[in-house]
Amino acid sequence: MTTIIRSTAIMGPLLAVTLAAGCGHSDGPVTPTRSTKTIAIAGATGNGRVTSGDGKIDCRIASGVTSGPTCSAAVDSGSAVTLTASAEPDQEFVAWGGDCSGSVACQLNVTRDATVSPRFATLQATMSLTLTTPNADDGAVIVTVAGPSIFGITPAAGVELAESRAIANGVTTATILVRGNLASGVVATLTVRGAHVDSPYTTQVREAAARQSGNYAQRSDLSQYRVTVQK
């Protein structure tokens, strides 16, 4: 006699054993690991503070050096983070550098590590106006200086000056008459916006004349005269 064993007689216990072996080690649903990225404040200039909307960044900056309490933080990849810059009372916020740009709040969509560099500058700074003359008896020169900001012009010791200024398209052009016993050297100090100390200022010597001892003779050759603006 042939005995037939039905498949269900084998599969039932086998399935039960398999399920028991698989389910016996389950601790519940698995939570996927979230990737994090780092935001760092570095490469700053000037004095100020940077904070983030989520409170993870609160970075104080003095003379470009970051001092915390928190100048870097880890955030979830894909997070939207807003950074805000605040200048010290004698400074102004100029612009962002690094992974941010512009001069308003920095909006970051963090998909990689990011470095942000805030730039602060003094509200006002001074620059020297230096004359180079080939003569030893100059009594007066007329020069023009043009640049993004000129708030004031102060004569050097022993020098008199008269000046006028005009502003067009964001550029200040100053025409300056300098009088005295002139020699090569600093003849005046310019007060400018601190953010503009590295900006180009164009200059020109328009006229030059001798002192009284030289009968105030006007110079006909100005090719060796120079006037420069220096930090």
pLDDT averaged over 10-residue windows placed end to end, the chain, 231 residues: 45 42 52 82 97 97 95 96 97 97 95 97 97 95 96 96 96 97 96 94 97 88 97 91
Backbone phi and psi for residue 198, each to the nearest 5 degrees, phi listed first: -100, 5
pLDDT number for residue 216: 86
pLDDT number for residue 21: 47
Sorted by sequence, the CB contacts under 8 Å of residue 142 that are 6+ apart come out as: 175, 176, 177, 178, 205, 206, 207, 208
pLDDT number for residue 18: 43
CB atoms near residue 145 (< 10 Å): 24
Q: Is the entire prediction scored with pTM above 0.85?
A: no
Sorted by where each begins, the domain ranges of the chain are 36-122, 124-230
pLDDT number for residue 55: 95
pLDDT number for residue 28: 57
pLDDT number for residue 116: 98
pLDDT number for residue 7: 45
Tokens (6 digits) for 105: 């709040």
Express each pLDDT in 20-50 by its tens digit: 444 444 455 655 567 999 999 999 999 999 9
- CATH classification number, 36-122, choose in 2.60.40, 2.120.10, 1.10.1060, 3.40.50: 2.60.40
Contact 110, 83 (CB under 8 A): no
pLDDT number for residue 10: 43
Express each pLDDT in 180-191 by its tens digit: 999 999 999 999
pLDDT number for residue 4: 45
